[in-house]
Chain A
Amino acid sequence: MDFSDLPDDELWLQMQDDLYDGMKEEVAAETNEALKRGYGPTEVLEKGLVAGMDVVGVDFRDGVLFVPEVLMAANSMKAGMEILRPLLTETGAPRVGKVVIGTVKGDIHDIGKNLVAMMLEGAGFEVINLGVNVDADKFLAAIKEHKPDIIGMSALLTTTMPYMKVVNQMLIDERMREEVYVMVGGAPVSETFAMAVGADAYGRDAATSVDIAKAYMDNVRKQDKIDKAAAVNQ
């Protein structure tokens, strides 16, 4: 695989196309090529991997792509991320935000939740994936340890989704509810249900979830600026 003849613009396009098509080796090689040309890891992530994964997210939402294809694309993204991750840490690139995510107690469905996790990582979030069958104590411990900005809960069963409320209530009891933004999702979950269990937002699909998480972090940063400004003025 030799991409040295490609102009930069076409390299980004081909990287996105290959990611869309789940071509892992190609995406890794293109990631290295972009780095070799002097692009920083953040830029490679944005212009190549995230741009490609955005298309995947939209086409999955629209029923154009199917689960095996999205998983293949996500694996290609992972191949690129493995190259970029140490560089991102090294250069101290600002992270977008931190998310703790898991499928709630009693439920072992994880395809959708893993897609969301993967897409969040792709968008630059640091993601702590707690896996499946996660009880309230485990969520709590992870929040204490990692101090995330957002927690994401997933459930695929009508019998397990009420557990989201249990987790939310525990956060309130532990006086930690204000610390985190609570997002929920999963096939039987709806906007109404999300509000009923006390969540802050409902992620209808992977792409939407990423958009909501990003918008929330933007607001947080804006608010930070306002607070800082206010502190300076005082």
Chain B
Amino acid sequence: MLETIISSPTKTVIIGPNRPFVIIGERINPTGRKKLAAEMAAGNFNRVRQDAIDQVAAGAHVIDVNAGIPLADEPALLAEAIRIVQSVTDVPICIDSSIVAALKAGLAAVKGKPLVNSVTGEEERLESVLPMVAEYKAAVIAISNDETGISYDMRERLKVAKRIVERAERYGIPRCDVIIDPLAMPAGAIAGAGKNVFELVRMVREELGCNACCGASNISFGLPGRPVLNGAFLAMAIAAGMTCAITNPIEHEIKRSIMAADLMMGHDENCLNWIAVSRENAQSAVASGATPMNATVSAADQARAEREARRASRRAAQA
């Protein structure tokens, strides 16, 4: 099984089928976020900084940075945004742009081994993006479309993915550093869009051995209840073998679905992450007065507090 290893100066993230799902935080993207776009264009990165911190706190393992603002100097903005994100967080970066010059500026600015988002099967993109990825020894997300567009035949999309992987290898990019994006289409417009993704993810795993990743929010575009749909989509995609996604960990339903799926896949040892988060939620519910605390829990809480105090003093004694 191939594993993709990316890093910041201090943190390594391993993406692979036998590991917990990797969350790439999607929030730093001005597309559809007017305020963020205006602020970034004016050189104000306060929101970028806060989004980075909040997403890591919510469980993002990687931060996606996009500076796609019309009529702005995207390469310069992207490089600056990356520097700012890396100054407040310690996770690896996913450099996100459809402009080659911006990807290049991002690669020059980033510290560690990033993910480059993305290359497609289009000849001109392959020839411009892959040499850069090879030069900076980065990993790359490969979207399975080409000049002919996005095929509705998953075999066709797999062929495109295979072509990208082979071309990458010719440039000296190892197969493990190519992550296939099966392209999630809006399920509200295309019936079975989710099923198509699951099918392609399985084929990518079995026939190419590569990791699969996708932008998970597109699937629910134009529908109500998006976080629930995104969460269900991700859980099913994880079952099909998807190993990472660009999504929003701040959305409770999404985060919980990913954690639940990790548990089902056996990637949450003794279910301790799940239990810990459930316990935190219960405690904050009690603190906010949402549920009355009953006597037995309170006695147990006290015993627990005493136990924790004992541990703390033990630790202090050791130090």
* Interface set of A (CB-CB < 8 Å, partner B): 13-14, 17, 20, 22, 55, 58-59, 62-64, 66, 68-69, 71-72
- 1/0 per residue, CB under 8 A from A, across B275-292: the answer is 100000000000000000
Q: What chain B residues lie within 8 Å of A64 (beta carbons)?
A: 296-297, 300-301, 304
Instruction: Give CA–CA (A14, B296) in the complex, Å.
Output: 23
Instruction: Give CA–CA (A59, B301) in the complex, Å.
Output: 10
Contact A68:B310 (CB < 8 A) given known A58-B300, A59-B300, A62-B297: no
A-B contact pairs, 22 of them (CB 8 A): A14-B310, A14-B314, A17-B307, A17-B310, A17-B311, A20-B307, A22-B270, A55-B303, A59-B303, A62-B300, A63-B297, A64-B297, A64-B300, A64-B301, A64-B304, A66-B271, A68-B270, A68-B271, A68-B272, A68-B275, A69-B275, A71-B270
Tell me how many residue pairs across A and B have CB atoms closer than 8 Å: 32
Q: What chain B residues lie within 8 Å of A62 (beta carbons)?
A: 296-297, 300
Among residues 109 to 167 in chain B, which have CB atoms less than 8 Å away from a CB atom of chain A?
A: none
Considering the complex, give the chain A residue whose CB is closest to the CB of B301: A64
Q: Which of B275, B296, B297, B307 contacts A66 (CB 8 A)?
A: B275
Q: What chain B residues lie within 8 Å of A22 (beta carbons)?
A: 270
Query: Is the beta-carbon distance between A13 and B310 smaller than 8 angstroms?
Result: yes
Instruction: Please indicate which of the listed interface residues A20, A62, A72 has the most CB atoms of chain B within 10 Å of its own CB.
Output: A62
Instruction: Give CA–CA (A59, B299) in the complex, Å.
Output: 10
Q: 5 closest Cβ contacts across the A-B interface?
A: A68-B270, A64-B300, A62-B296, A68-B271, A17-B307
Instruction: Please indicate which of the listed interface residues A13, A22, A55, A68 has the most CB atoms of chain B within 10 Å of its own CB.
Output: A68
- 1/0 per residue, CB under 8 A from A, across B255-283: the answer is 00000000000000011100100000000
* Interface set of B (CB-CB < 8 Å, partner A): 270-272, 275, 296-297, 300-301, 303-304, 307, 310-311, 314
Q: What chain A residues lie within 8 Å of B296 (beta carbons)?
A: 62, 64
Q: What chain B residues lie within 8 Å of A13 (beta carbons)?
A: 310
Q: What chain A residues lie within 8 Å of B301 (beta carbons)?
A: 64
Instruction: Give CA–CA (A59, B300) in the complex, Å.
Output: 7
Q: What chain A residues lie within 8 Å of B310 (beta carbons)?
A: 13-14, 17
Q: What chain B residues lie within 8 Å of A59 (beta carbons)?
A: 300, 303
Instruction: Give CA–CA (A55, B299) in the complex, Å.
Output: 11
Query: Is the beta-carbon distance between A69 and B270 smaller than 8 angstroms?
Result: yes
Instruction: Give CA–CA (A64, B282) in the complex, Å.
Output: 11
Considering the complex, give the chain B residue whose CB is closest to the CB of A63: B297
Given contacts A14-B314, A62-B300, A68-B275, 20 further A-B contacts (CB under 8 A): A13-B310, A17-B307, A17-B310, A17-B311, A20-B307, A22-B270, A59-B300, A59-B303, A62-B296, A62-B297, A63-B297, A64-B296, A64-B300, A64-B304, A68-B270, A68-B271, A68-B272, A69-B272, A69-B275, A72-B270
Q: What chain B residues lie within 8 Å of A14 (beta carbons)?
A: 310, 314
From residue B311, how far is it (CB to closest CB) to chain A in Å?
7
From residue B275, how far is it (CB to closest CB) to chain A in Å?
5
Instruction: Give CA–CA (A62, B301) in the complex, Å.
Output: 11
From residue A219, how far is it (CB to closest CB) to chain B in Å?
28
Considering the complex, give the chain A residue whose CB is closest to the CB of B311: A17
Q: What chain A residues lie within 8 Å of B297 (beta carbons)?
A: 62-64
Instruction: Give CA–CA (A63, B279) in the complex, Å.
Output: 11
Instruction: Give CA–CA (A55, B306) in the complex, Å.
Output: 13
Considering the complex, give the chain A residue whose CB is closest to the CB of B304: A64
Instruction: Give CA–CA (A66, B310) in the complex, Å.
Output: 22
Instruction: Give CA–CA (A14, B317) in the complex, Å.
Output: 14
Considering the complex, give the chain A residue whose CB is closest to the CB of B308: A17
Instruction: Give CA–CA (A20, B304) in the complex, Å.
Output: 10
Q: What chain B residues lie within 8 Å of A20 (beta carbons)?
A: 307
From residue A75, how far is it (CB to closest CB) to chain B in Å?
10
Q: What chain A residues lie within 8 Å of B275 (beta carbons)?
A: 66, 68-69
Instruction: Please indicate which of the listed interface residues A14, A20, A22, A66 has the most CB atoms of chain B within 10 Å of its own CB.
Output: A66
Instruction: Give CA–CA (A19, B310) in the complex, Å.
Output: 14
From residue B316, how far is it (CB to closest CB) to chain A in Å?
14
Instruction: Give CA–CA (A17, B313) in the complex, Å.
Output: 13
Instruction: Give CA–CA (A22, B275) in the complex, Å.
Output: 14
Considering the complex, give the chain B residue whose CB is closest to the CB of A66: B275
Instruction: Give CA–CA (A14, B303) in the complex, Å.
Output: 13
